[in-house]
Every structure is written in structure tokens, then in C-alpha cells.
């Protein structure tokens, strides 16, 4: 029998208990799922972790074979010096489909001008505003072509958008114009009528969108950021919105979360705030990935979605 410590927020345990128990049973492994405080840390084989959970010092978990993060983002654990065990992050269908729906929904909202449509329900029949562009006439840029960025970019290309993707290392993805490196970023920004970022929070992505890079965007560009809040220099974005350089921003992630009530984003007429809900970890699909990694650990096979801690994601 192996011992699995469920170290997410205690209130999430009821949601995970059934799915995790079932997913582990399906692997044929006999396991006991315990909570922090219920067992000797030195007897734990795997830690199911979230940054919101009670375990942040991994030193006592001398037997643990892996820390299995329920989140895709690892910025709050990757630099933890007490962590000596392999760290795996979450890549699963729930996060992927959630992100695709959030991104395509907000891209289509901008593309179709839905905010203006909803604001104009005033009895005036406006049929003289010209022929609206088709998706194939709209350039969308995706920063980040990882598990989530690539799938969203492919979904947008599937809707017909002209999609450019940008990543750290070069990529070749059918239907996407893939760029990389600093020159690639400048070229990508210059064509971004709608800019989406699904980049992780690392030293290399912090303040990537600043007054200099925002100035490269076409006038009135729209920004959608469900990646991480540190990507954006907030003062620079507010200035670009006020100047009309950026037409609107939809922001799901922030430097400080929850976004404080007094933050200027809340009241800004050109900002939509969503409360970090673009893609939620879902117990059913996340449990399957956790169980598969435990099966791999027990079989001596390589873990899925192992974080490269030197790279930071």
C-alpha cells in the first residue's frame, strides 16, 4: 500500500476524493489518501500539491517520490529550496478545453464587436456600417505555444483566423506562423490585432509587455491575458489604453490576486476583469493525470509533465 498526501486546500478534498480514489483504483495500485496532519510526513509516497495548500516545506517528506501539482503554473513552487523531489505540473483535458473556450470566446467577442452590439440595443437599425471582416481577415497572435497556447492557437486557426504564434524555441505547427526570439516577438506584436498571452510567469516573461513592446502593436489592438499577471507592466498598459494605442484588454490574471477593489483596472472602461477563471483544474480530469503519474512512479517509468526547474516552467 502506498500513501498519497492530498495537500490542496482542505475545502477541495471532497471534490477530489471520489475522482482521485477511482482514478488510482483503475491503475491497480492500492493506496491510502491522507491529509496533512493525519500521517507521519516520512511515510508519504506522493504529494498531490497546490500552491494554496498547507504544505510548503517539503523537507520532512523524505520518502516522497514526486510532488504532483494540480495547477499548470508552477511559479509559486519552482524556486522552493526545500523541494528536492521531482515536480510535475498539470496538463489535462479540463484545463485545455477550459482555456480554449475562454480564449476563443473572448477573441470572437472582439472580432465580432459584441460589446458595441450589446451597447446599441436602442431601436436604431444600423445596417450601413460596412461589411464586417471575416476571421480570415483578422490577425491573432498567441504568445506561448505550450500545452495550452498551442491548442488555443490551433482552435483559432480552425475558426479561420490568421494566427501567429511566438515561443522561446522555434516551432513548426501546421496552420500557424511560428516565430521565436526577440526579433520574432517584435514581428508578432506588429501584426497583433488581437494579442493573447498564455505564457508562464518566469524571469524571462516578467514585464514582457511594457511601454516599448506595447508601442509595437497596431493602433487599437486588443489584449487577452489568461497567462500570468507579471507579463504586463500595469502602468504601461493603463497608459496605452488611455492613449488609445491599446483598444481594450481582457485580463484574467494579476500581480496581486484577488485584484484589490481599488485597482484602476476594475473601473477602467477599456478593461474587462475576470477572476482567474480562464481554465480551472477539474477533479475528474486532473485526478486521471495524477493517477497516471503515480502509476509511472511505481513502475519506474518517466513522469509526465516534469518541470524543468532551471527553466522555471
313 binds ligand NAP, rule: CB under 6 A: yes
Sign of the CA dihedral running 268, 144, 162, 108: negative
Q: Under DSSP, is residue 171 helix (H, G, I), strand (E, B) or coil?
A: coil
Q: Which stretch binds ligand NAP (CB under 6 A): 48-56, 78-86, 154-162, 276-284?
A: 276-284
Catalytic residue set:
228, 276
3-state secondary structure of 141: strand
- Is the previous residue joined to 258 through a cis bond, with omega within 30 degrees of 0? yes
Name which of 41 and 200 has its Cβ closer to ligand NAP.
Answer: 200
Instruction: Out of 65, 228, 248, 282, point to the residue binding ligand NAP (CB under 6 A).
Output: 228
Q: State how far the Cα of 161 lies from the Cα of 154, in Å rounded to an integer.
A: 10
Told to check if 226 binds ligand NAP by CB under 6 A, we report yes
Residue 73 found at the interface with ligand NAP (CB under 6 A): yes
SS3 category, 43? helix
Note whether 222 and 140 are within 8 A (CB).
no
Which residue is it, cell 477533479? 283
Beta strand pairing call for 271-273 and 246-251? parallel
Report if residue 200 touches ligand NAP, rule: CB under 6 A: yes
Measured from the CB of residue 186, what is the shortest distance to ligand NAP in angstroms? 13
First to last CA, the chain: 32
Instruction: Quickly tell me which residue has 505564457 as its cell.
Output: 199
Pairing of strands 87-88, 66-69: parallel
Contacting ligand NAP within 12-41 (CB under 6 A): none
Nearest distance from residue 159's CB to ligand NAP, in Å? 19
- Closest distance of CB 283 from ligand NAP, Å: 15
Tell me which residues in 131-170 interact with ligand NAP (CB under 6 A). 144-149, 167-169
- Here's the x/- map for ligand NAP, 248-267, by CB under 6 A: it reads as ----xx--------------
Site string for ligand NAP, 74-93 (x = CB under 6 A): -----------------x--
CA angle 218, 219, 222 (to 5 degrees): 80
Asked whether the beta carbons of 92 and 289 are under 8 A apart, the reply is yes
Q: Which is nearer to ligand NAP, 204 or 302 (CB)?
A: 204
| 107 near ligand NAP (CB under 6 A) | no
Q: Which uninterrupted H or E stretch holds 68? A: strand 66-69
* Least separation in angstroms between CB 102 and ligand NAP: 8
Q: Is 217 a binder of ligand NAP (CB under 6 A)?
A: no
Residue 224 to residue 108: CA distance in whole angstroms: 11
Residue number, 199 or 236, with CB nearest to ligand NAP: 199
Q: Residues in the site for ligand NAP, rule: CB under 6 A?
A: 72-73, 91, 95, 144-149, 167-169, 198-202, 204-205, 226-228, 252-253, 276, 278-279, 313
Amino acid at each position: 500500500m502506498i500513501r498519497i498526501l492530498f495537500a490542496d486546500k482542505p475545502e477541495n478534498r471532497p471534490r477530489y476524493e471520489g475522482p482521485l480514489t477511482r482514478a488510482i483504483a483503475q491503475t491497480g495500485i492500492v493506496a491510502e489518501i491522507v491529509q496533512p496532519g493525519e500521517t507521519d510526513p516520512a511515510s508519504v509516497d506522493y504529494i498531490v500539491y497546490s500552491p494554496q495548500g498547507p504544505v510548503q516545506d517539503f523537507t520532512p517528506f523524505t520518502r516522497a517520490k514526486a510532488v504532483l501539482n494540480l495547477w499548470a503554473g508552477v511559479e509559486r513552487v519552482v524556486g522552493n529550496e526545500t523541494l528536492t523531489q521531482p515536480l510535475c505540473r498539470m496538463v489535462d483535458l479540463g484545463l485545455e478545453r477550459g482555456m480554449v473556450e475562454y480564449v476563443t470566446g473572448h477573441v470572437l467577442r472582439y472580432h465580432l464587436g459584441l460589446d458595441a452590439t450589446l451597447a446599441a440595443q436602442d431601436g436604431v437599425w444600423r445596417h450601413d456600417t460596412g461589411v464586417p471582416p471575416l476571421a480570415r481577415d483578422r490577425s491573432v497572435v498567441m504568445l506561448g505555444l505550450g500545452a495550452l497556447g498551442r491548442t488555443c492557437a490551433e482552435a483559432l486557426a480552425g475558426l479561420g483566423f490568421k494566427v501567429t504564434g511566438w515561443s522561446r524555441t522555434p516551432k513548426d505547427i501546421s496552420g500557424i506562423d511560428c516565430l521565436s526570439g526577440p526579433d520574432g516577438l517584435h514581428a508578432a506584436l506588429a501584426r497583433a490585432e488581437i494579442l493573447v498571452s498564455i505564457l508562464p510567469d518566469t524571469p524571462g516573461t516578467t514585464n514582457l509587455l511594457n511601454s516599448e513592446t506595447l508601442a509595437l502593436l497596431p493602433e487599437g489592438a486588443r489584449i487577452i491575458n489568461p497567462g500570468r499577471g507579471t507579463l504586463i507592466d500595469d502602468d504601461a498598459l493603463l497608459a496605452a489604453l488611455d492613449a488609445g494605442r491599446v483598444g481594450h484588454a481582457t485580463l484574467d490574471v494579476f500581480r496581486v490576486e484577488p485584484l484589490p477593489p481599488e485597482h484602476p483596472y476594475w473601473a477602467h472602461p477599456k478593461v474587462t476583469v475576470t477572476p482567474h477563471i480562464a481554465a480551472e483544474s477539474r477533479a475528474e480530469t486532473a485526478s486521471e493525470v495524477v493517477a497516471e503519474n503515480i502509476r509511472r512512479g511505481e513502475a519506474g517509468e518517466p513522469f509526465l509533465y516534469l518541470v524543468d526547474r532551471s527553466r522555471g516552467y
